[in-house]
A and B are shown apart, each in its own frame.
Chain A
Amino acid sequence: MHMADALLSPTVGGTMWAVSAGTIAFCSRKIRRDTDDSKIPLMGVLGAFIFAAQMINFTIPVTGSSGHLGGGMILAILLGPYAAFLTIASVLMVQALFFADGGLLALGCNIFNLGFFPAFIAYPFIYKKMIGSQPSVTRLTVASIIAAIVGLQLGAFGVVLETIFSGISSLPFPTFVAVMQPIHLAIGIIEGLVTASVVSFVYKARPEIMQSAMESHPIGSYSVRSVALAFLVAAIITGGIVSWFASTNPDGLEWAITKVTGKEELDGPKQGLHAALSTLQERVSFLPNYAFKKPAEATNVVIEHTQPLPSVQTGQKAGAATSHFETTVAGLVGGASTLVIAFLIGAILKRRGQTEYAKKRSEQTGNCKP
């Protein structure tokens, strides 16, 4: 399941971007150094294969609905963790750009949820351990099912944590977990079954592929541990820095602007609209220090900052209810008019572009005439 931009806060999205980008850089270096370059086309083509395979459906035995291959686990089994992580990341990037699965900011979360867990947790710690040195069809089947389930469970939990930390959705943590984990248990079982059946098919048809896949990248516990360690350190550092940003000022972007411009806020004129708005805001808000800091911004910003206590807020500013209503209406009217203005600008630009194009064409045809 893909995380989406609309549910993310910049802090969580940025942190996960940093973590995923770091892991991609690490895997790229590893592949450049360790593997022969015959693997590079193989990774690319197998990524495309995952796309193609995802488009073929099958009927799920009991429910009769249709499912498809997810692909993370099968890539890890065939390519090993580093190449698999890069391949999954590339597939997710194409999905984000062309199918709007997730989004550009959520890409970091998605790469982590769907790439890191299968490639660096489920594959080395479950699949490899269960397969041992001598694979058999039964072992392959059981190991891929369990590894796929574990990978998906961790991924789903990742989605839950990212959503909760972002705080855009109102879903309470227990409810969300109680919904996501069982759904992904079902998906994981199906995914595991499909992975197992495809893998054992390949094993029966061309056992040398599976053999070479297992031998060509012997990953000791050391390298995996170092990946996990590096990831942990990266997460703590980025998390620490970002949360420090977030806690010094509730609004990280504004904080950055303040640092850049050296001013708390651009000084507005002390009369007219600006002054009217600030007097209004002083009356409406019950956290005056926010109003003090940001005279230009009006009620809905205050609502944002005080959102844990909306009841307190409504209780306290009963007297200001009418002006609150006014700001709300003003905000809505203003929002609608900005939309109209945006569309008008678009229409004008389009018309201008078309007339220019027409002019160019007429010039061209004019030139063509003898």
Chain B
Amino acid sequence: MASIHKAVLDLKSLDLLANGNSSVHRLDARAKVLVSLVFILCVVSYGRYELAVLFPFFIFPIVMISMAGLPPLFILKKILLLCPFVLAVGIFNPVFDRQILLHLGPLGISGGWVSFASILTRSILTVGTGFILVGVTGFTAVCQALEKLGMPRVFAVQLLFLYRYIFVLTEESGRASRARELRSCGKKGLGIHSFSSLVGHLLLRTWQRAERIHMAMLARGFTGEFHASRQSGFGMPEIRFALIWSTLFIFLRLQNVPQLLGSLITGLNP
């Protein structure tokens, strides 16, 4: 029963990060959304057995975290709760792919393990970028950026509505769920029957709330769109930010930087 409140708290704390006021926070959200998309595309465009080439890409999340002053441990903890599906699917790679791909001295490492490590690294990079995007931009601003980039207005309004009411309804459902758990000794009474009437009541209340909200909105002159309180333009800082990062990602994607650096350090190449 603590989990609902914890999840809501987690959601809030991630969103609160967006209230910061660093140079990254102040950028227009469109620039950050675009750079994040270029980053993710570059990371996932590598082949299955690429591992070392992914490491230079860590520069982006690290720089963003330190420039924006996000709490690194908080982000790290969220990343470590990786999507279990990725782990479940990825762990089969070592099972099915036993071909020895590289030798480290006497130790032969199979392709499966390399690709599993690659999947984990991708996962950390892409998931981390998502969190950082929300942490430096905020959900509302991401929605508005997407709308300016061509997302239909109805969908943008839907997202903003949803986001506004998540907090209200999860708190309500958390209270209801806690009351039910306190009344059911141990596991008794937590079955599907009480669940459906609980959720059904929640649904009916939600429905009535939506009707009230709609009337209140009509009374205040709602015409089908929200107005942003903070306007920002796509100026020089945004262009600079988008250009520098995208160029870096594409450069990293085309040049094998770890290989160049490694042979420079070890002098192993003839």
Considering only residues 1-23 of chain A, those with a C-beta below 8 Å from chain B are 1-10, 13-14, 21
Interface string of A180-207 (1 = CB under 8 A from B): 0000000000000110011001100110
Docked Cα-Cα span, A51 to B59, in Å, equals 34
Q: Are B104 and A7 in contact (CB under 8 A)?
A: no
Whether, in the assembled complex, A219 has its beta carbon less than 8 Å from a beta carbon of chain B, the answer is no
Q: Are A46 and B59 in contact (CB under 8 A)?
A: no
Interface string of A314-358 (1 = CB under 8 A from B): 100000010111111111111111110111011101100100010
Q: Are B152 and A300 in contact (CB under 8 A)?
A: no
Q: With contacts A47-B162, A333-B262, A334-B52 known, is A42 near B45, CB below 8 A?
A: no
Q: Are B112 and A170 in contact (CB under 8 A)?
A: yes
Docked Cα-Cα span, A346 to B95, in Å, equals 37
Select B196's contact among A48, A201, A300, A303, beta carbons within 8 Å: A201
Interface string of A241-257 (1 = CB under 8 A from B): 00000000001111001
Q: Are B139 and A94 in contact (CB under 8 A)?
A: yes
Q: How many Cβ-Cβ contacts under 8 Å join chain A to chain B?
A: 434
Residues of A with C-beta under 8 A to B187: 59, 64
Q: Are A105 and B255 in contact (CB under 8 A)?
A: no
Q: Are A167 and B48 in contact (CB under 8 A)?
A: yes
Interface string of B245-270 (1 = CB under 8 A from A): 00000100111111111111110111
> Closest chain B residue to A349 by CB distance?
B66
Give the secondary structure class of B's interface.
helix
Interface string of B137-166 (1 = CB under 8 A from A): 001001000000001111101111111111
Residues of A with C-beta under 8 A to B93: 169-171
A236 to chain B, nearest CB (A): 23
Whether, in the assembled complex, A29 has its beta carbon less than 8 Å from a beta carbon of chain B, the answer is yes
Residues of B with C-beta under 8 A to A66: 190
Docked Cα-Cα span, A172 to B95, in Å, equals 11
Whether, in the assembled complex, A262 has its beta carbon less than 8 Å from a beta carbon of chain B, the answer is no
> Closest chain B residue to A66 by CB distance?
B190
Residues of B with C-beta under 8 A to A346: 62-63, 65-66
Interface string of A216-260 (1 = CB under 8 A from B): 000000000000000000000000000000000001111001000
B239 to chain A, nearest CB (A): 17
Q: Are B204 and A205 in contact (CB under 8 A)?
A: yes
> Closest chain B residue to A101 by CB distance?
B83
Select A61's contact among B62, B86, B134, B191, beta carbons within 8 Å: B191
Whether, in the assembled complex, B209 has its beta carbon less than 8 Å from a beta carbon of chain A, the answer is yes
Select A335's contact among B51, B67, B115, beta carbons within 8 Å: B51
Q: Which of A124-132, A145-153, A273-281 contacts B (4 or more CB under 8 A)?
A: A273-281
Interface string of A291-321 (1 = CB under 8 A from B): 0000011111101110100110010000001
Q: With contacts A9-B45, A10-B45, A48-B169 known, is A41 near B203, CB below 8 A?
A: no
Whether, in the assembled complex, A89 has its beta carbon less than 8 Å from a beta carbon of chain B, the answer is yes
> Closest chain A residue to B154 by CB distance?
A28
Select B154's contact among A1, A31, A168, A273, beta carbons within 8 Å: A31
Residues of A with C-beta under 8 A to B256: 296-298, 300-301, 331
> Closest chain A residue to B258 by CB distance?
A334
Select B69's contact among A38, A59, A328, A353, beta carbons within 8 Å: A353
> Closest chain B residue to A321 by CB distance?
B103
Docked Cα-Cα span, A55 to B180, in Å, equals 13
> Closest chain A residue to B55 by CB distance?
A335
Whether, in the assembled complex, A97 has its beta carbon less than 8 Å from a beta carbon of chain B, the answer is yes
Q: Are A296 and B255 in contact (CB under 8 A)?
A: yes
Q: Which of B67, B93, B134, B170 has the most CB of A within 10 A?
A: B170
Q: Are A105 and B126 in contact (CB under 8 A)?
A: yes
Residues of A with C-beta under 8 A to B59: 338, 341-342, 345
Interface, chain A (partner B; CB < 8 A): 1-10, 13-14, 21, 24-25, 28-29, 31-32, 37-38, 40-49, 51-53, 55-61, 64, 66, 69, 86-87, 89-91, 93-94, 96-98, 100-105, 163, 167-172, 175, 193-194, 197-198, 201-202, 205-206, 209, 251-254, 257, 265-266, 273, 276-277, 279-280, 296-301, 303-305, 307, 310-311, 314, 321, 323-339, 341-343, 345-347, 349-350, 353, 357
Q: Which 4 A-B pairs have the closest CB atoms?
A: A44-B161, A334-B262, A335-B52, A304-B47
- With A49-B202, A253-B41, A300-B50 given, name 17 new contacts (CB 8 A): A2-B85, A4-B85, A13-B44, A55-B177, A90-B155, A93-B159, A104-B129, A169-B92, A170-B112, A198-B199, A206-B207, A253-B253, A296-B256, A304-B48, A307-B111, A327-B269, A342-B55
> Can you name 25 A-B residue pairings with CB atoms under 8 Å?
A4-B86, A7-B86, A9-B44, A13-B44, A37-B214, A40-B214, A46-B210, A48-B170, A53-B203, A55-B3, A94-B139, A97-B139, A97-B142, A168-B115, A194-B195, A253-B45, A280-B269, A280-B270, A300-B50, A307-B49, A331-B258, A332-B104, A342-B58, A345-B66, A347-B66
